[in-house]
Amino acid sequence: MAYANGWAAINLQMPARVPRIEFDAERHWELVTTVTGIDVNFASVPSRQQQAQKAFMQAWNYDLQLMPLIGENELDAKRTKMGHGTYLAGGGDFDNNIHSPFCDPEEVLSFDPRETYGSKNESELIARFNAHYQTQCREYPDLVNTTGTYVTLFSGLIAIFGWDLFLMAGGLAPERLGAVAQRYAEWMQPYYNALAASDAPLIYSHDDIVWTTGAVFHPEWYRKYIFPNYQKYYAPLIEAGKKVIFIADGNYTQFVDDIAATGAHGFFFEPLTDLKYIVEHYGQTHIIIGNVDTRVLLTGTKIQIQQEVERCLNLGKKCPGYFIGVTNMIPSNTPVENALYYNEFYEKLCWR
């Protein structure tokens, strides 16, 4: 039933149960053990971890899985390493390798992705996307699955240059940085052409265009160099009958209308982006995913957790394509009792 429920929402058909997506709750090993009874932790063998994760996702009624294929590794030929703080249980993701192959803003402003990464063969890209999507469907047949890109445009430039030089280049020469963004978008376009020809009916398009306070650069810079390229990306997908979910962290409320105008069929967003605005303007026409505040689960009381679920469901229940979910993530330091209470209250209120 999870697939049918999720697919109905993707097609704006108002399923009886508000569907659900979560991020990293299935890697919160103490929570997974509590819910499934399978003793598992960060040191368990991968097969046992996957067994427990699948049992957990079924117990918690996941309906959708957002999973990209094309991430920062696609840019390994030349990109900045920014390190990584400890997030996962056991600290296996900690990385203090920080360096950049770029020395100054001029190198950023002169960069041509095609010269570094080469031209992409569309047939090979189609095969890669199909293999990724089919693997997801095989491993998670009860879920609506996706494939797509993480380093779509803005996030790709961050990954290549790192924040410091990226911001310096934008401050010194915004038009020239816009030309770099244009070259990157042209290099990325074959990926979207391939997605249009792939088997996947639902496409993941991630781009962290903002931070917690909103736009990084002047809004008109985005309207000149970012959103027109999204429209070019999405045009072949729309023509092929695919649906596109736009995904970004931070607060992108000021750009919701711009993103909708590119042809995106849905929005995934953190609690910093205004759910009420999106519901009022796009609640009957677009897929809407997320907005439960992970900070409430991390430090809140039961009453506060209840109020947060009520806030989202009171708005989302009236929308045929709404998926509830905790954004950004349910990390392993979330108190188990808080996560369990969140689930309990979702189950009480999820029926329309």
State the 10-residue block means of pLDDT for the chain, 352 residues long: 91 97 95 97 95 96 96 92 66 69 92 95 97 97 97 97 94 97 98 98 97 95 98 98 97 98 97 97 97 96 97 97 94 96 96 94
Q: Which residues pair with 210 in a beta bridge?
A: 215
| 317, part of any domain | no
Instruction: Report how many domains make up the chain.
Output: 1
| 119, part of any domain | yes
Its pTM stands at 0.94
In the chain the first and final C-alpha atoms are separated, in Å, by: 16
| 247, part of any domain | no
| 126, part of any domain | yes
Checking DSSP bridges between strand 81-84 and strand 95-99, what pairing results, if any?
antiparallel
Give me the sign of the Cα torsion angle 1, 20, 284, 256. Answer: negative
| 302, part of any domain | no
Which amino acid belongs to residue 286? H
| 282, part of any domain | no
Instruction: Let me know: does 191 contact 229? Beta carbons within 8 Å.
Output: no
Domain span at residue 129? 68-235
| 267, part of any domain | no
Cα distances (Å, whole numbers) of residue 9 to 15, 83, 256, 283: 6, 38, 20, 12
How far is Cα 90 from Cα 93, in angstroms, rounded to an integer?
Answer: 8
